[in-house]
Structure 1
Amino acid sequence: MSTHPNRGPKGPSANPAPEAIRAAREAAGLTQTAAAGLVHSTLRRWQEWEEGKHRMHPGLWELFEIKRRRG
C-alpha cells in the first residue's frame, strides 16, 4: 500500500468526496469562485473537485473548513 496521502486508507484525513465539497460550499453560501479563492485555487480546479475529476488534498479541505467557519 502506498504512503501517499491521496492514496491511503479512508479516515479523518482522507480526501473529501465530491458531494461533501459541494455541500460544504453551498452550506457556506459561497460561489465556486469564492470557495476556490479561500484555498488559493482556480475556479476550474474547484469545479474538477466537485465533479470528481480530481481529488482535493486533505490539507486543502481542512483549510477550506477552517476558513469557511470563520465566515
Structure 2
Amino acid sequence: MPNHPNRGPKGPSSNPTPADICTAREATGLTQTQAATLIHSSLRTWQQWEAGDRRMHAGLWELFRIKAGLVNLAK
C-alpha cells in the first residue's frame, strides 16, 4: 500500500522510534515481557520494535502509553 500514511519514503511517520519505545518502557520500570503483555503482543514483536526491525503501529503505541500511565486522560 504505497499511499498508506505509515508506509513509504514520503512524509513523516506517526510511528514511534525504537528509542521512544525503549525510553518509555524503561521510564515505567517494565520489562520487555511485561510491556508486551500489557498490550497483548509477543515478546519477540516487542524486541523487534525496540531493535528497529519492525515499526510499532501508532495505535499500539498510544495503547501502551495509556495503559502504562504515561498519558493523563483527565482534563
User: Which TM-score tier does this pair reach, normalised by the shorter chain?
Assistant: 0.7 to 0.9
Instruction: Give the structure with higher Rg (CA).
Output: 2
Please list every run of 5 or more consecutive structure 1 residues that lacks an aligned counterpart in the other structure.
none
Show the counterpart of 1:45.
Answer: 45
How far apart are 1:5 and its partner, in Å? 3.9
Show the counterpart of 2:17.
Answer: 17
TM-score, normalised relative to structure 1? 0.85
Structure with more relative contact order (C-alpha pairs < 8 Å, separation 6 or more): 1
2: CA distance, partners of 1:44 / 1:69? 23
Distance 1:38 1:5, change over 3 A: farther
Q: Which runs of 4+ in 1 moved over 3 A?
A: none
Q: For each residue in 1:16-63, what CA deviation from the matched residue of structure 2 results, as whole angstroms up to 9, or x when unmatched? A: 000000000000000000000111000000000000000000000000
What is the correspondence of 1:24-35 to structure 2 with a 5 Å cutoff? Answer: 24-35=24-35
SS in 1 for 2:62: helix
How far apart are 1:4 and its partner, in Å? 1.6
CA RMSD of aligned residues (A): 1.9
How many pairs does the alignment contain? 68
SS in 1 for 2:69: helix
Higher helix share: 1
